[in-house]
Amino acid sequence: MFCVDVAINLPVKNIFQQFTYSIPSELEFLESGWRVVVPFGAQKVEGFIVGKRPLSSLAPEVCSKLRAVEAALGERPWFDQEMLATAQWLAQYYMCSLAEAMRLFVPGKTSIRRRAVKDDQGRLIRYEYEERLREKTLQALQITEAGRQVLALGGGPRLQPQLKALELLAVSRESLTLQELAENYISPSTAKTLAKKGWALIVPKRILRNSYVNPQQKAAVFQLTEEQEVAVKAITNAVQEGKQETFLLQGITGSGKTEVYLRAAAQAVGQGKQVLMLVPEIALTAQLVERFRAWFGDEVAVAHSKLSQNERGDVWYKMYMHQANILIGVRSAVFAPFADLGLVIIDEEHESSYKQEERPNYHAREVALIRCRHTQAPLILGSATPSMESYYRAQQGEYVHLRLKNRANGSSLPVVEIVDMREELKARNFSVLSRKLRQALVETAAAGEQAIILLNRRGYSTFVMCRDCGSTITCPHCAVALVYHSAAEDMRCHYCGNTAPVPRECPKCHSRRIKFFGTGTQKAEEELMALPEVRVLRLDQDSTIKKFAHMEILQSFARGERNVLIGTQMVAKGHDIPNVTLVGVLAADSSLNLPDFRASERAFSLLLQAAGRAGRGDRPGHVIFQAYDVENRVLQLAAQQDYDTFAQGELQAREAFFYPPFAEMLKLTLWDKDEGMGLATATRLVSYLQQLQLEDKLGEVMILGPFPALVPKVRDLYRFHVVVKAKKLELVKKALWESEFKNLKNLYFDVDPASVV
């Protein structure tokens, strides 16, 4: 007789222990990694088995009180040893419970849901559970032994249609659906006759849903440049040897990083291995998926946030059953199960979207590195503007640094000029478009070419203000201004989603002098549409609510149906459209002075990525940055497209101020409905950390705060931050894990925060 230790899968942060259950005789096959249903209090919940031992290892009085596992979920353990080890690392490193870490590996984060059982009068009797993942099945035919005997004996002309069907079923390795039979000219009536005679059985057959059903394109094979050949050789050698190495593939925009990815993936697939390819946003997947499907066909599976839980379940099934060899997905795809992982690629590895904002605050790049170490799979980090952490590790020799310094087609980087918007105001040009950009757009459209306009603000106006008393219309639940959206004719909070009608008068002074200030993508779109021959498409969060809307917009633009694409940062990354010769960036300096240590890095990266969309074909590119702070060093280096000089200066500043990669960081955030209580708890936390005298054990340690978050109130909760910086955080984490603060429901740990504000 055995018992198991189970991590309880509930969406709460403070169930840190595992619970022991006995195993009934019919479930003795259970081992670590299985998902199970267990009683927990008055509920039946999902749990993950993390250990198994003999009942005899427990005291008799303990054994007598154990509750039993009620059911196993699935037909195999969900977690293999590599996934279990990764989950255990994640829980320890990111300071969360083991169950929180493990539920990241499950599509939808839970496998069961409660179902109410009621009596005839509609009164609740009890709750039962049912599995959430629904397999799609169709009726299919499977040949029987009687059918095989008939096939062996043969028959007259009247049996020929049935014999043909039996022959097809006999050579098939699995059952065939009616549709599959029809594709081989077997009619439904013939299929029914086989079943009626007992020559075939009607059985359910699982159908795996596929979100990408576009026709497969013909693979384009390019001659590699010398730089690409060097990169491919280094990576494929590691793949062949099954050696874990991390490669930083730093290539300017248009240098052909995707071609390197394809060759490396082909090497892995050729050895019977699987490949994980991460991309930062759904908007970047369509073109990349087309390139990979052209090479690998149906061996490619795709996972992203727009998939339903059942669709994601089908993708996960393909990977752990080795029915697909390549998985392309966004951040959460790093938790997919694999039969034999042999290579991981992270495109645009610098992107902040790889960092999960909700608890547990993991970074997909770091999780991928751990999985690669467990599986001895090489890891490729690709970017034109690497993160400071990855660039520094490459400089220190921890990563193999591969450089692509030239565009693959021999074209030059675009010419970038900066337009001073202060001069535009002096000339009484109050438009969002400078005269230079307006003229360039008209000329581009007249030449039959295309342009991309980046404005990293969605909506129509950034805020609504009373011109008499100066009050801004703010969200009643969050300490931020509401943004006006013309399409819906309302104001929205971009933090909590709250909407409100545009007031006819100021709620404070009752003046009717309400005015819209600032410019969002909707307002800029209106100005662009007024230009001659300009036909505009908008790509932002508001225009891509519908599933796959982003793909439809980008494909329409790539086909040349519209000649100007305007949007938020989604338009700046990853798109390779040869006819784009002009890129305009509105308010290019808007994010340069945010109070965050990564502000310069993010701004530089976005500007360089946006500029790189121009001139990728056989015509030269032209880029216009519109700004007020035109002398800003970051803006000037972005215009020169000089990453190395920027990175060296940024690293010097990070070292001087003790920021990553020269220090590890932990951000602790207190949330409370009562502002005073929140501040008091945060102050008590700081006092506890100071009393530990960590400097004596760790050397340089900095404890900053408490201070209000940049947006101090969200969803009626006040937020206070405490930031800890140290060379190594292990002792800090250990001290917090052993303290009373570990169990506070309103305290959140963010290890390696993407932002400190």
Residue 515 pLDDT more than 80? no
Q: What is the 3-state secondary structure (H, E, C) of 228-251?
A: HHHHHHHHHHHHHHCCCCEEEEEE
Condensed to tens digits (0 to 9), the pLDDT of residues 634-650 reads 999 999 999 999 999 99
Measure the CA angle with vertex 298, ends 295 and 301; round to 5°.
Answer: 100
Query: Which residues have CB under 8 Å from 189's CB, separation 6+?
Result: none
The least confident of 260-274, 364-378, 561-575 is: 561-575
Pinpoint the alpha helices (H) of 253-284: 257-270
Give me the mean pLDDT over the 506-510 stretch.
82
DSSP string, 80-101: -HHHHHHHHHHHHHTT--HHHH
Residue 696's pLDDT is what? Answer: 63
Report which of residues 591 and 462 the model is more confident about. Answer: 591
Q: Which among 134, 158, 287 is positioned nearest to 208, based on CA atoms? A: 134
DSSP string, 15-58: --S-EEEE--GGGTT--TT-EEEEEETTEEEEEEEEEEEEGGGS
Q: Please, which pLDDT band fits residue 187 given cuts at 50, 70 and 90?
A: confident
Q: Please, which pLDDT band fits residue 241 given cuts at 50, 70 and 90?
A: very high
Q: Which among 590, 580, 525 is positioned nearest to 557, based on CA atoms? A: 580
3-state secondary structure at position 5? strand
Give me the mean pLDDT over the 232-239 stretch.
96
3-state secondary structure at position 188? helix
Residue 577's pLDDT is what? Answer: 87
Residue 203 pLDDT more than 90? no
Q: Check: pTM over 0.85? Answer yes or no.
A: yes
Condensed to tens digits (0 to 9), the pLDDT of residues 113-134 reads 877 778 777 777 778 777 777 7
How many helices and strands in the chain, by DSSP H and E?
Answer: 23, 32
In 135-218, DSSP assigns E strands to 136-143, 176-177, 200-207
Q: Mean pLDDT, the chain, as a whole number?
A: 88
Q: Count other C-beta atoms under 10 Å from residue 701's C-beta.
A: 23
